[in-house]
Structure 1
Amino acid sequence: MTGISEISGMWPETQQFGLSGTSRYLPIADHGLIGDLRTAALVGVDGTIDWYCCPRFDAPSVFGAILDADRGGSFQLTADVPARTKQFYFPDTNVLITRFYAPDGVGEIQDFMPIMDESREIDRHRLIRRVLCARGSLPFRARVAPRFGYATEPHTVRVQEGRAIFTAPSLSLTLTASVPLEADNQDVWSQFKLHEGESAVFALDRVGDGVEMRSCPLAEAEEQFAATVKFWRTWLSSSRYRGRWREMVHRSALTLKLLTYAPTGGIVAAPTTSLPEQIGGERNWDYRHVWIRDAAFCVYALLRLGFTGEAEAFMDFLSRHVTTCGVDESGPLQIMYGIDGRCDLPERELGHLEGYQGSAPVRTGNAAVGQLQLDIYGALIDSIYLYDKWGQPISSDQWDQVCVLVDWVCDNWDQPDEGVWETRGGRKDFVYSRLMCWVAIERATRMAIHRGLPADLSRWRENRDTIYRQIMRRGWSRELQAFVQHYDEDVLDAAVLMMPLAKFVSPTDPKWLSTLDALGRVLVSDSLVYRYDPRTSPDGLRGEEGTFSICSFWYVEALARAGRLDEARLAFEKMLTYANHLGLYAEEIGHTGEQLGNFPQAFTHLALISAAFKLDLALG
């Protein structure tokens, strides 16, 4: 899979590499992702790194031009002549290659963050950019313009002995290069020409806090390239998937792995913050945290592929971190945690940044952390159930924790909450929340019976059955002939697509088939599925949003389970056309097919894996 764009390398000598208006920003989809299981960077099809946080996912940005083209900072590296570009991943890896095609030559940039093993150490951070000339000759130009602390911290730069040292109050970075570097105010730039077979290397390293400076000669960069390729290919070789959509499923798996924070086992929802759900709108959120729901679903997807190590690491994250925030009126679980397990994620707005294409505010932290979302208990306990079934039997301590959660659910399931979509329009009796409370109790009951574990089964069964009957009575609309978003109003919600997926209802039950038809009429557009209609179900926010890609893949799976295989396969194939040139998805898809929201998003990729599995199985 490749993407093609026209770019120009004729940049003014002393200006930032930018254009005017919204053209200063690449489309969200025109990026690839690299990472080292601690942090990640977005690399545009023009060779620019416009998003990078160091030393970890949720750290302040060093390069943040995707959120402010003028102030955010970037690492630009490209051909210094007009050229076409193509971008692809080195096969079966997360090493990204951006190629430049010019009249006099062909060159490429190989971008990666070295990974040698599954070490949990925290301080190692290196970003390598190898530049090669494959044919003819090609001039290149680079400008490294870090803007520390979300562009709030001043920094100094000095160039000495083939390296540049950037020093800010909170962080120091060194740039080592095999070509001459020159300082330009706060930035460093280089202009060089490569002939066929020649290469150059740029290596950006964190220094300080006991991390010493190091060089990066060409031979070392080549060794680290080979080691990183080997790491990713070795990891991917554990996949059990051999179905029709192997390339897309494996790209999704590699993406989920990139979103893992190795030191703790947490999985972030996305590596970015504040990429808008509507251009110019306010639906801009920080996703660089561990959502219990998203991470639990990720564990489910990776377990299906055979990656038990990630599931084990997440179980360790739960045991070490998730029970540390105490029990309050919102329950024993928060909906999200920091990647290090911290509970406090204060939301603040960065008013000095204009936001992607002027989409303000830019936010860090997330105020939704204090919401009550009852569905997370079902998502979590379902993942524990699957880990116990497909991975390793859970420990006695872990079972004790499960019992605490289930007992709390039994006491608290019958109350309004903010729901799966984190609406800010007040608590309601959401059907999906009740559904996942049913899942929590039902899966725990299965584990207790299967392994003979101690549990108050009579109480659990009574609550499980009461939830079931309540949903069937109050969650069903006679007028719409469908299950609805919440009790007492006739509003549809794509979240109920999880009903047959969670085995709450038969996928061919007449009530469910009627619901599927209703969703298709109201919320589905060319296989794309809206979460709900904000006009009929106010969510406390202004503006509109695109279709939600996880819901689109849920729709595919629901169709497949209902036996509507031709529809399911067509919808799935259509969804694949909305991926970017690398097979990556943001959270949403806009009216003209553009990617919207934080990118790439774990939720979307895990749902793709699940839908592909189910559709493959159904097609035989």
Structure 2
Amino acid sequence: MQDHPLIADHGLIGDLRTAALIATDGTLDWFCAPRFDSPSVFGALLDPVRGGRLATHPATAGYTAKQLYLPDTAVLITRFMTEAGVGEVVDFMPIDGHHDRHRLVRLVRCVRGEMTFSVRVAPRFDYAREPFETHLAEDGVVFQGARSVLTVRLIREPGDARAATGVDGEGDVHAELRLRAGEARGLLLETGAAGPVSAVPVAEALRLFDETVDFWESWLGRCTYAGRWREMVNRSAITLKLMTYAPTGALIAAPTAALPEQIGGERNWDYRYTWVRDASFSVYSLLSLGFTDEALALGRWLRDRVDEQDGKDGGGPLQIMYRVDGSSDLTEEILPHWSGYRGSAPVRIGNGAAGQLQLDIYGEAMDSLYVAGRHGLAPGHQGWLAIRDLADWVAANWSQPEEGIWETRGGRQNFTYGRLMCWVALDRALRMAAEHGRPAPLETWRRERDALYTEIMTRGWSTARQAFRQHYDTEVLDSSLLRMPTVGFITPADPMWASTLRAMEKELVTDSLVYRYDPAASPDGLRGSEGTFSLCTFAYVSALAAAGELDRARLTFEKMLTYANHLGLFSEEIGLTGEQLGNFPQAFTHLALIDAAVTLDRELDRHPRAAARRHTVVAAR
């Protein structure tokens, strides 16, 4: 089996409808079209033999490769250094607004000396389940399947000689590009209906490059963040934008599927969908950076999901996740013919957790709508009716056992975090009704909110552990509860919270990295273990900062930034030796990074002596 690039050895490009992952060796090994959640065109990330790839690299061995983003953009540059010269592969996707047409430009250029590039185009439609035919033309090639088509057009100068190409027994196309310093050629890949295969002049490719750069620089220019970690926050903002489906405003959890939480394990999920939880968190994060249009679009997406559900059969008015167009069919299936990332099978597409009951999503959704309202995005009449219906449902149904935030598959429990966020849902509904003078059953909501508070403080508290616990029938700790002071349920100075934080640090924190919970102590219905959860680490930073422990918060944040990849991107988890695990890049992680940076900036500005104090490295926990 061929070696996989590491999960972290990738950059992300996209056109706000779909995205592609490109490894540091110039291999495009993950691309789905026409949408994030569509079947794959290239999938070598999950099977290097059967998955398909677009490979471009020096034809000679012994090269060194480096990768960077053009500053303040989503244009990815992979640089190759050899004894004969230096070359670059520049990848980007123009933002043109077409729903069905997606263009990926790969400019190949020599910047010093001379270089011959080897090119291989090997698509595998529908997760390598759809056969295709290869049709060579003078100016490119068409890969035609029964339902899919990929057109590859050459980027070249008028008068160039016919490119030397060949087709192998798999239908893959091989070619070589010989370039001298200052020359640029390349490929333009286009999905959708097949058309005439005409060459793309280099000048046209450069025009698309300029337009794409202008788009990203203009978009990022709206960011209002001016804090201490601007580069990392800006990269996180661009990454979140890349994972936003423009037609609906939906934010996917990650552009990948089935990347493992443990190498060789079974915790391999499809994250190419929009979670109500992630979308809700992102409203707050985007507003904190000044991106009101994106926050408003997500708020509308959330309201549409509430409007279209009826809450029958005890399932709740919201499903926990949806496709990017708002549809709810996420049937999970396994691809038995794919080996998985580094042998991590099964490879799953679709997500069977979509039908779970997770009560926390109602608090996160309501909190985001409340925050949006305080930023001038208050709901209209129909929006308020939808919010009122949601709060009514929470008031009547919060006492149900549920699956919890981590989508465990070990059965329903009375999760403390779910109860906490139901408290948030009713608390924010009460606040919105009062602040905007909206009609509502205030006494019912207030009664149920206060009952939730009492229950959490009694049944959610473990006297033995002197800490809030994962659910009522366990002594296990859960780092989701790091958000208790953030949502205003408890003050950071409360002795019960200080005791909980110390207990979490003793059990869930390792060298500043934070586990979600201990699977060995809290069976979740799945085999194997997992790494530390990057969202929780950034939440820990925010909790420390809110508690006034600014030195520790800042050091933890800075240490966490060292686990980013070479481009500033994070996956879902960090493994024992510091490797990135899980789907990549992970929206939740980048949202939490933004929130931690904003929180730290605010607290450091309030305490300038702490901000100016020289920090010392403390012993690892």
Q: TM-score, normalised by structure 2?
A: 0.94
Match of 2:4 among 9, 25, 38: 25
Q: Does 1:501 align with 2:486?
A: yes
Match of 1:13 in 2: none
**Could you list the per-position Cα deviations for residues 497-519 of structure 1 after superposition, in whole angstroms to 9, with x for gaps in the alignment?**
01011111101111101111110
SS in 1 for 2:280: helix
Match of 1:608 in 2: 593
Match of 2:422 among 426, 437, 443: 437
SS in 2 for 1:582: coil
| Partner Cα distance (2:99, 2:416) in 1 | 41
CA contact (8 A) 2:79 2:88 kept: yes
Match of 2:39 among 42, 45, 60: 60
| Partner Cα distance (1:85, 1:202) in 2 | 20
CA contact (8 A) 1:51 1:62 kept: yes
| Partner Cα distance (1:618, 1:252) in 2 | 21
| Partner Cα distance (1:486, 1:271) in 2 | 32
Match of 2:220 in 1: 236
SS in 2 for 1:77: strand
What CA RMSD, in Å, does the superposition of the two structures yield over aligned residues?
Answer: 1.3
**Could you list the per-position Cα deviations for residues 373-428 of structure 1 after superposition, in whole angstroms to 9, with x for gaps in the alignment?**
00000111111111111142211111110001000000000121000000100100
How far has the Cα of 1:206 moved from its partner? 1.5
Q: Does 1:41 align with 2:26?
A: no
Q: What is the identity, as a one-letter code, of the residue corresponding to 1:126?
A: R
CA contact (8 A) 1:302 1:308 kept: yes
Q: How does 1:279-428 map to 2 (within 5 A)?
A: 279-328=263-312, 329-428=314-413
| Partner Cα distance (2:553, 2:308) in 1 | 43
How far has the Cα of 1:322 moved from its partner? 5.0
Q: 1:428 to 1:354 in 2, by over 3 A?
A: same
SS in 1 for 2:338: coil
CA contact (8 A) 1:308 1:391 kept: no
Q: Does 1:265 align with 2:227?
A: no
Match of 1:168 in 2: 145
**Could you list the per-position Cα deviations for residues 330-375 of structure 1 after superposition, in whole angstroms to 9, with x for gaps in the alignment?**
1110000111111111000000000001100001111101100000
**Could you list the per-position Cα deviations for residues 571-612 of structure 1 after superposition, in whole angstroms to 9, with x for gaps in the alignment?**
000100000000101000000000000000000000000000
Aligned length: 595
How far has the Cα of 1:215 moved from its partner? 4.4
Unpaired segments ≥5 residues, structure 1: 1-19
Q: What is the identity, as a one-letter code, of the residue corresponding to 1:226?
A: D
SS in 2 for 1:299: helix
| Partner Cα distance (1:391, 1:262) in 2 | 22
Q: TM-score, normalised by structure 1?
A: 0.94
Match of 1:113 in 2: 93
Q: What is the identity, as a one-letter code, of the residue corresponding to 1:127?
A: L
CA contact (8 A) 2:139 2:198 kept: no
Match of 1:490 in 2: 475
Q: Does 1:101 align with 2:81?
A: yes
Match of 1:456 in 2: 441
CA contact (8 A) 2:137 2:197 kept: no
How far has the Cα of 1:324 moved from its partner? 2.7
Match of 2:111 in 1: 134
CA contact (8 A) 1:527 1:571 kept: yes
How far has the Cα of 1:314 moved from its partner? 1.5
Q: 1:212 to 1:318 in 2, by over 3 A?
A: farther
Q: How does 1:516-555 map to 2 (within 5 A)?
A: 516-555=501-540
| Partner Cα distance (2:391, 2:200) in 1 | 53
CA contact (8 A) 1:321 1:342 kept: no
How far has the Cα of 1:319 moved from its partner? 3.9
**Could you list the per-position Cα deviations for residues 509-538 of structure 1 after superposition, in whole angstroms to 9, with x for gaps in the alignment?**
111011111100000001110000011100
SS in 2 for 1:501: coil
Q: Does 1:69 align with 2:48?
A: yes
| Partner Cα distance (2:88, 2:492) in 1 | 49
How far has the Cα of 1:163 moved from its partner? 1.2
| Partner Cα distance (1:230, 1:460) in 2 | 49
Match of 2:619 in 1: none
| Partner Cα distance (1:73, 1:573) in 2 | 38
| Partner Cα distance (1:326, 1:169) in 2 | 38
Match of 1:147 in 2: 124
How far has the Cα of 1:233 moved from its partner? 0.8
Q: What is the identity, as a one-letter code, of the residue corresponding to 1:36?
A: D
Match of 1:226 among 210, 227, 232: 210
Unpaired segments ≥5 residues, structure 2: 157-162, 606-621
CA contact (8 A) 2:19 2:36 kept: yes
Match of 2:58 among 79, 85, 95: 79
Identity of aligned residues (%): 57
CA contact (8 A) 1:322 1:341 kept: no
| Partner Cα distance (2:481, 2:390) in 1 | 23
**Could you list the per-position Cα deviations for residues 460-513 of structure 1 after superposition, in whole angstroms to 9, with x for gaps in the alignment?**
111111101110111111111111101132110001001011111101111101
| Partner Cα distance (2:452, 2:198) in 1 | 60
How far has the Cα of 1:321 moved from its partner? 4.7
**Could you list the per-position Cα deviations for residues 17-57 of structure 1 after superposition, in whole angstroms to 9, with x for gaps in the alignment?**
xxx46xx1011000000000000000000000000001110
| Partner Cα distance (1:281, 1:76) in 2 | 28
**Could you list the per-position Cα deviations for residues 271-309 of structure 1 after superposition, in whole angstroms to 9, with x for gaps in the alignment?**
000000000000000001111001111121111101011
Q: What is the identity, as a one-letter code, of the residue corresponding to 2:550?
A: L
CA contact (8 A) 1:207 1:213 kept: no
Q: What is the identity, as a one-letter code, of the residue corresponding to 2:99?
A: I
| Partner Cα distance (2:268, 2:233) in 1 | 28
| Partner Cα distance (1:170, 1:326) in 2 | 35
**Could you list the per-position Cα deviations for residues 536-578 of structure 1 after superposition, in whole angstroms to 9, with x for gaps in the alignment?**
1000000000000000000000000000011100100010000
Match of 1:17 in 2: none
| Partner Cα distance (1:212, 1:552) in 2 | 51
| Partner Cα distance (2:120, 2:518) in 1 | 45
Q: 1:319 to 1:500 in 2, by over 3 A?
A: closer
**Could you list the per-position Cα deviations for residues 194-213 of structure 1 after superposition, in whole angstroms to 9, with x for gaps in the alignment?**
1110001200002318x776
How far has the Cα of 1:191 moved from its partner? 0.6
Match of 1:478 among 445, 463, 483: 463
Match of 1:248 in 2: 232
CA contact (8 A) 1:259 1:267 kept: yes
| Partner Cα distance (1:344, 1:615) in 2 | 40
Match of 2:582 in 1: 597
Q: What is the identity, as a one-letter code, of the residue corresponding to 1:128?
A: V
CA contact (8 A) 1:322 1:337 kept: no
| Partner Cα distance (2:227, 2:8) in 1 | 26
| Partner Cα distance (1:552, 1:483) in 2 | 18
| Partner Cα distance (1:60, 1:298) in 2 | 26
Q: What is the identity, as a one-letter code, of the residue corresponding to 1:80?
A: A
CA contact (8 A) 1:547 1:588 kept: yes
How far has the Cα of 1:214 moved from its partner? 5.9
How far has the Cα of 1:443 moved from its partner? 1.0
